Amino acid sequence: MSTATVTPIPQASPATRNVVAEARNLSKVYRDFWGRHKVTALQSLDLNIQQGEVFGLLGPNGSGKTTTIKLLLGLLFPTSGKALVFNREATDVAKNERIGYLPEESYLYKFLNAEETLDFYGRLFNMPAKVRRDRIKQLIEDVDLVKHRRRPLREYSKGMTRRIGLAQALINDPEFIVLDEPTSGLDPLGTRWMKDLIIRLKERGKTILMSSHLLADVQDVCDRIAILHKGELKELGRVENLLKMRNMTEIRTTTLSPQAEAEVREVLARHQAQIHHLDHPASTLEELFLSIVQDSEARPGRRSIREDAPGEQHK
């Protein structure tokens, strides 16, 4: 049964002042019609999401990421524990005034076009007509759907659907934005665009919770992450802290001459330092792809040709 109540916001202690969302010993067990245990989706989860941060929920498929999000949004009822958003129960409808949600698949009404979609969701926030119209116009420009604003959503591509899905999540300029697998199904350009948007939202002071199993995307944008596996919290902390390899030192310089390189090796050997890798660093495939696409758009018809360095071979 729903625990929806309108509870007054208690005075927060200094420790909890900036907590936007919180899971306290949160568990979710799926049962069948007769109440028999079927699956433990989440087990005693404790975490909180601070104001202004981008929080990532990581884990393989079935680890409980989406269940956690649904519990925080009030789409599911906890078996035990509490899910709080802005210090209110997750099932309290009033908290929805301040949140935005992009589901995994942008579940939108396919018979509506972009303008109608945003108009519908805007009305649900009791936005006055003029404010709503201006907001819709702005959002459609922001998500680059101006040319397609009158087409029904059933004719949209995956990327366009995600963009309009994001627009509806931002229609009320929410303080807390929940993104479930935001880059799922997007091409590298779309992924880059989404990540840039997340960063921009963070810079505007928004709090973002995103779940993903695409590790690189989470690494690029998240401040803190929680790693779930089989419904349990396995790791929680800041990304840079978690990823730091404390038993290694990395030095990046401009290209060294062979003599300089030999001297560096000599110094390191003298200090009994074991060299794991000394070579030109590699960029990421994403950066390579984006640079090629940007170059192609700037100079259409020309193929970008790189000359191999001496000693390198094309496979």
Partner 1 sequence: MIYEYPIPEFWQWFTDLRNGPFWYFVALLLILVVVSVVGFLVALIRNGPAVAGERTYAVLAGSFLDLVRLSPRRVWAMAKLVLLESWRRKVWVVLILYGVLLLFASQYLSPTTQNPAKLSIGFVLSYCTRYLLLIIMLVLSVFSIPLDFKNRTIFTVVTKPVSMAEFVLGRIGGFVLLGTGMLLFMAVVGYLFLQRTLIHTHELTPAFVEEIRKNESLPASERQTILRGQTTLENRHQHSVELNTDSEVNWTEYEFGHRHEIVAEKNSNGETEYRIAVPEDLLQARVQHLGQLKFKDRKGLETDKGVNVGKEWKLRSFIEGASPMEAYWTFNNITPEQYNEGLLIERTIRIFRTEQGKIDEPLAGSMYVRNPDTKVTSQPFRFKAKDTIIDSQWIPATGLYIRNSDGTEQKAELFKDFVNSQGQVEIAIQCNAPRQYFGMSPRDVYIRDPDVAFGWNYIKGVLCIWLQMLIVVCCGVVFSTFVSAPVALLATAGFLFLGLYTQFVGELVTSQLDFEETARGKTYYGGGPVESLYRIVTQTGVTLPLEKTVGVRLMRMVDTPLLWLMRGVNQGVPNFDEYNTLTIVGQGFDIPNSLIWHLTFKAFFFCLVAYLLGIGFMRLREVAK
How far is Cα 213 from Cα 210, in angstroms, rounded to an integer?
10
Contact 40, 97 (CB under 8 A): no
Question: Which region among 14-22, 109-117, 267-275, 287-295 touches partner 1 (by CB under 8 A)?
Answer: 109-117
- Structure token pair of residue 64: 């409980």
Cβ proximity to partner 1: between 17 and 151 the closer is: 151
Residue 109 in the binding site for partner 1 (CB under 8 A) = yes
Kindly state the helix (H) or strand (E) to which residue 33 belongs, with its residue range: none
From the list 70-78, 239-247, 287-295, 304-312, the region that binds partner 1 by CB under 8 A is 70-78
Q: If you ran DSSP here, which 8-state letter would residue 157 be given?
A: -
Q: Which is nearer to partner 1, 108 or 225 (CB)?
A: 108
* C-beta closer to partner 1: residue 106 or 225: 106
- Give how far Cα 2 sits from Cα of 62, 66, 95, 196, 198, Å: 25, 19, 15, 37, 32
Residue 269 in the binding site for partner 1 (CB under 8 A)? no
Contact status: 290 vs partner 1 (CB under 8 A): no
39 near partner 1 (CB under 8 A): no
Q: Quickly list DSSP for 213-240.
A: S-HHHHHHH-SEEEEEETTEEEEEEEHH
Shortest Cβ distance from residue 283 to partner 1 (Å)?
38
Residues 6+ apart with CB under 8 A from 52: 18, 202, 205, 206, 207
Among 47, 115, 125, 199, binds partner 1 (CB under 8 A): 125
Cβ–Cβ under 8 Å, residues 54 and 238: no
Q: Which of residues 150-179 bind partner 1 (CB under 8 A)?
A: 165, 168, 172
- Smallest separation (angstroms) from partner 1 to the CB of 177: 11
Distance CA 239, CA 249 (A): 18
104 HSE (CA, 13 A, CB side):
9
**274 in contact with partner 1 (CB under 8 A):** no
> Is residue 38 at the binding interface for partner 1, with CB under 8 A as the rule?
no
Instruction: Figure out which of the listed residues 9, 17, 25, 97 binds partner 1, where binding follows CB under 8 A.
Output: 97
Q: Residues interacting with partner 1, by CB under 8 A?
A: 1-6, 30, 35, 70, 73-77, 93-94, 96-97, 99, 101, 103, 105, 107-109, 111-112, 116, 120-121, 123-126, 165, 168, 172
